[in-house]
C-alpha cells in the first residue's frame, strides 16, 4: 500500500538516506511522495505527484539534516495530488505525520473533536496530525496515547513534533512497522528494504504499540502503556538490498531469478523440512481450506488439486469472498493462508474468521514476521527473496512448488522423499529462462495489437490460464480472460472473431486432443492461435499460428514452471505498449486495505 521511512541519525546526511530508503519502498505505492525534515530547527515539508525518485530529483540532498520522515503513497482517500500526498501537517504546524493504513472514523472525528479545524486534504490521514495537536500539552507520548484511543482502523505512523528535534515518534495497529538499528542511527520503516546497508539488526514493533526512536535508542509501549522489550534480530538476508543489476526492470530480474528460487526452496526443505514448532501439526487433518487473493489464490488452486488427489478433501477460496459469507469448516480443518507479502488485508481478515471457526492455521508467506506469519499457528517461508515488481512472478512459482512439497509430506504412505526431490531437482536444472524469453518474442506484436485475448487450458493448465490472464491484464491493460477450455463453448465462444487471440496451454498428455478440439473451433472462427506445450507434435504445430515449446519438464511438475512464458510475454508486451511493467497503473504491491 504506502511506504514509510523515518531516520534519526548522528550524521547530517539524512536526506540522502531517506532518498535511498523511499526509493526502495517505491513498489508499495508511487502516485505521490513527500518528506518532512528538520533544517535549522524548523520543519521543511516537500511533496510531489509521482514517484519518490521524482520528489528527490527536485531536492538538494546536501542540505544538512539529521531527522526526517518520508512517504510514498498509493491513494485510497482522495486523488493522487500534492495536497493529498503525505506528510500531513497539523493546522498550527506542530506535528507532521505519515500514515499507512485507513482511519475508518475520520469523518466522525472531523465532525466532533476536530470540528474547528480547517482541513486541506481529502485524506483520512490528516485527522491524525490534528488529533495530536488537539491532545498535545507538552508531552507527545501522552498525546499519541490519547489519539490511539479515538482512532478506529489500522495504521502505521511516523510522527515528528516541532518541539522534539531529536526524535521520531511512532504508533502501529494492524500495519507493519520495523525499527532498523545502526551505530548512532535508527530507522523506522514499513519493511526491511528501506534500511541502509549498514543496518545489521532490526526489531519488529509489536501490534498495538507506540513509542519513539532516537539516534541511539528506542522506547516502545503497548496500548496499556507498559514498556515492552522486543527481541532484536539479525538481518540475515541482505539480498533485498540488491539493485536491478543488468536488468531493465525488477519484473524481468525476478523472472530470471525463478530457477534459483526453486532451487533454494528445495534446499531449505531438504535441510529442515518445514521446521514446525508443533511436530504433530498435520495429525488428524481431515479437510484443507486454502485462502488467498490474486496470484496467491491461483497458486492455492494448484494446492487444492494436489491435496484432492491424495484423497484429502480440499478447497481454495478467494479471501474477500470467504469473509463475507457464513463459511462452514468441519472439525479437524487445516486452513492455509497464502500471501507473498503476508500483509494482505482480506487474507488477514480470513485468518480471524477461520480461527473463530476452530481451524488450525498455516501461513505460506515470503515475509518472515509479516502479519500472516504472526497470526498463523505455523508458517512456511517461500525463500523467494524480496519481490518488488507489482506483478507477482517468482513468488507464484515458489508457492506452487511449496504445495508440491507439502503434498509429499501429507501423502500416506509417504512418497520416497529422496527420489521425489531428486526428480524435482533434475527438472529444475533443465530450466532455461533465456531461451523461454527468446521464444516468446515473436508473439509480442500479435498480443499487443489484440483487443480480445483468451488463455485456455484444462485441469492444471486451466489454473495456469487464470494466472496468465491476470499477468497480461495487470501490466498490459489489455482485455484478457482465462478459461477452462471446455467452458468456452458454453457461451464465451460467441466473442471469438477474426483477430481474437487464443492462447492454449496443453501440458497434459491425456488432454491434448480434448483441448485441440476447442482450439480448432476457435481457429475456424478466425482466432489467431498460440499453443504452449512441451509436446512438439505435428498436430499442435499445424494448428497454431505460434507454437511455444516448453522445456521437457516432467508432466506432473509442469504447473511449477508453465506460467513462465506468459510472465515473459506479459512483460515484453507491457514494454512494447510503453508501460512501466514494475508499476502498473492503479495497483500497489501489497493491498493492506479491504
Q: Which residues sit at the interface with ligand M6R, rule CB under 6 A?
A: 293-296, 339-341, 344, 347, 390-392, 470, 474, 590-591
Residue 201 C-beta: closest distance to ligand M6R, Å: 25
Nearer to ligand M6R, 182 or 393 (CB): 393
Residue 474 C-beta: closest distance to ligand M6R, Å: 5
Residue 475 C-beta: closest distance to ligand M6R, Å: 8
| Strand ranges of the sheet holding 501-505, from the earlier edge strand across to the other edge | 480-484, 453-457, 501-505, 528-533, 546-549
The DSSP line for 143-194 is HHHHHHHH--EEEEEEEEETTEEEEEEEEEESS--EEEEETTEEEEESSGGG
Residue 210 C-beta: closest distance to ligand M6R, Å: 26
In whole angstroms, what is the distance from residue 81 CA to residue 70 CA? 16
Selecting among 2, 23, 293, 376, the annotated active-site residue is 2
209 neighbors 32 (Cβ within 8 angstroms): no
Backbone dihedral region of 256: left (phi > 0), alpha (psi from -120 to 50 degrees) or beta? alpha
Nearer to ligand M6R, 85 or 255 (CB): 255
Nearer to ligand M6R, 8 or 293 (CB): 293
The DSSP line for 211-273 is EEEETTEEEEEETTS-B-----EE---GGGG---TT-SSHHHHHHHTHHHHHHHHHHHHHHHT
Nearer to ligand M6R, 70 or 177 (CB): 177
Nearer to ligand M6R, 175 or 591 (CB): 591
Helical segments of 234-368, H only: 250-256, 258-272, 294-309, 319-322, 345-356
Exposed / middle / buried, residue 110 (Cβ in 10 Å: 0-12, 13-18, 19+): middle
Residue 391 C-beta: closest distance to ligand M6R, Å: 4
Nearer to ligand M6R, 295 or 379 (CB): 295
In whole angstroms, what is the distance from residue 432 CA to residue 119 CA? 56
Does the annotation mark 589 as catalytic?
Answer: yes
In whole angstroms, what is the distance from residue 116 CA to residue 118 CA? 7
In whole angstroms, what is the distance from residue 318 CA to residue 267 CA? 30
Nearer to ligand M6R, 96 or 341 (CB): 341
Give backbone dihedrals phi and psi of 446, rounded to 5 degrees, phi first: -60, -50
Residue 296 C-beta: closest distance to ligand M6R, Å: 4
Nearest Cα to Cα of residue 28 among 175, 139, 181, 173: 175
Beta bridge partners of 454: 481, 502
Nearer to ligand M6R, 215 or 583 (CB): 583
Distances (CA, A) of 364 to 357, 395, 547, 556: 20, 11, 35, 22
Selecting among 17, 360, 528, 589, the annotated active-site residue is 589
Residue 477 C-beta: closest distance to ligand M6R, Å: 14
Residue 184 C-beta: closest distance to ligand M6R, Å: 35
Task: Give the other-Cβ count within 10 Å of 133's Cβ.
Answer: 19
Nearer to ligand M6R, 348 or 433 (CB): 348
| CA 582 from centroid of its chain's CA atoms | 13
| Nearest residue relative to ligand M6R (C-beta) | 294
Contacts of 331 (CB under 8 A, 6+ apart): 286, 358
Residue 344 C-beta: closest distance to ligand M6R, Å: 3
Strands (E), 444-587: 453-457, 480-484, 501-505, 528-533, 546-549
Residues annotated as catalytic are: 2, 589
Amino acid at each position: 500500500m504506502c511506504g514509510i521511512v523515518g531516520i534519526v541519525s548522528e550524521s547530517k546526511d539524512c536526506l540522502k538516506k531517506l532518498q535511498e530508503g523511499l526509493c526502495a519502498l517505491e513498489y508499495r505505492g508511487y502516485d505521490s511522495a513527500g518528506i518532512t525534515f528538520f533544517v535549522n530547527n524548523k520543519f521543511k515539508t516537500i511533496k510531489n505527484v509521482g514517484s519518490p525518485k521524482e520528489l528527490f530529483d527536485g531536492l538538494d540532498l546536501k542540505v544538512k539534516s539529521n531527522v526526517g520522515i518520508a512517504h510514498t503513497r498509493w491513494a485510497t482517500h482522495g486523488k493522487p495530488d500534492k495536497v493529498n500526498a503525505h506528510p500531513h501537517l497539523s493546522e498550527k504546524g506542530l506535528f507532521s505525520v505519515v500514515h499507512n493504513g485507513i482511519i475508518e472514523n475520520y469523518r466522525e472525528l472531523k465532525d466532533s473533536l476536530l470540528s474547528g479545524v480547517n482541513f486541506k486534504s481529502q485524506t483520512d490521514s490528516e485527522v491524525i496530525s490534528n488529533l495530536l495537536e488537539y491532545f498535545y500539552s507538552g508531552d507527545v507520548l501522552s498525546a499519541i496515547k490519547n489519539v490511539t484511543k479515538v482512532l478506529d482502523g489500522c495504521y502505521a505512523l511516523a510522527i515528528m513534533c516541532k518541539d522534539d528535534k531529536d526524535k521520531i515518534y511512532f504508533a502501529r495497529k494492524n500495519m507493519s512497522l520495523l525499527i532498523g538499528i545502526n551505530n548512532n542511527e535508527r530507522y523506522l520503516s514499513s519493511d526491511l528494504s528501506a534500511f541502509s546497508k549498514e543496518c545489521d539488526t532490526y526489531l519488529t514493533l509489536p501490534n498495538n504499540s507506540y513509542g519513539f526512536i532516537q539516534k541511539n535508542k528506542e522506547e516502545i509501549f503497548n496500548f496499556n502503556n507498559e514498556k515492552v522489550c522486543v527481541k532484536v534480530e539479525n538481518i540475515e538476508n541482505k539480498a533485498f538490498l540488491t539493485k536491478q543489476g543488468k536488468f531493465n526492470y525488477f519484473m524481468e530480474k525476478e523472472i530470471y531469478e525463478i530457477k534459483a528460487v526453486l532451487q533454494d526452496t528445495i534446499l531449505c526443505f531438504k535441510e529442515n523440512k518445514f521446521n514446525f514448532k508443533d511436530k504433530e501439526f498435520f495429525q488428524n487433518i481431515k479437510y484443507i481450506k486454502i485462502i488467498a487473493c490474486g496470484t496467491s489464490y491461483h497458486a492455492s488452486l494448484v494446492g487444492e488439486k494436489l491435496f484432492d488427489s491424495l484423497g484429502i478433501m480440499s478447497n481454495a477460496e478467494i479471501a474477500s469472498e470467504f469473509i463475507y459469507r457464513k463459511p462452514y469448516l468441519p472439525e479437524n480443518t487445516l486452513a492455509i493462508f497464502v500471501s507473498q507479502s503476508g500483509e494482505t488485508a482480506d487474507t488477514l481478515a480470513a485468518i480471524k474468521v477461520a480461527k473463530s471457526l476452530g481451524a488450525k492455521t498455516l501461513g505460506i508467506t515470503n515475509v518472515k514476521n509479516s502479519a500472516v506469519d504472526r497470526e498463523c499457528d505455523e508458517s512456511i517461508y517461500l525463500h523467494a527473496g524480496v519481490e518488488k515488481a507489482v506483478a507477482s512472478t517468482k513468488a507464484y512459482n515458489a508457492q506452487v512448488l511449496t504445495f508440491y512439497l507439502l503434498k509429499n509430506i501429507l501423502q500416506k504412505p509417504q512418497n520416497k522423499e529422496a527420489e521425489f526431490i531428486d526428480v524435482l531437482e533434475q527438472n529444475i536444472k533443465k530450466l532455461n529462462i533465456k531461451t523461454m524469453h527468446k521464444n516468446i518474442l515473436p508473439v509480442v506484436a500479435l498480443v499487443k495489437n489484440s483487443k480480445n485475448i483468451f488463455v485456455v487450458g484444462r485441469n492444471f493448465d486451466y489454473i495456469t490460464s487464470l494466472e496468465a490472464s491476470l499477468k497480461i491484464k495487470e501490466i498490459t491493460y489489455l482485455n484478457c480472460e482465462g478459461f477452462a477450455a471446455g467452458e468456452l463453448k458454453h457461451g464465451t465462444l460467441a466473442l471469438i472473431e477474426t483477430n481474437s487471440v487464443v492462447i492454449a496451454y496443453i501440458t497434459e498428455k491425456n488432454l491434448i486432443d480434448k483441448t485441440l478440439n476447442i482450439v480448432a473451433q476457435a481457429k475456424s472462427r478466425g482466432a489467431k492461435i498460440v499453443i504452449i506445450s512441451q509436446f512438439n507434435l505435428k498436430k499442435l504445430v499445424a494448428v497454431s499460428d505460434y507454437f511455444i515449446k516448453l522445456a521437457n519438464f516432467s508432466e506432473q511438475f509442469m504447473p511449477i514452471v508453465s506460467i513462465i512464458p506468459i510472465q515473459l510475454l506479459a512483460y515484453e508486451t507491457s514494454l512494447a505498449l510503453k508501460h512501466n511493467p514494475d508499476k502498473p497503473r492503479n495497483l500497489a504491491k501489497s493491498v493492506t486495505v479491504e
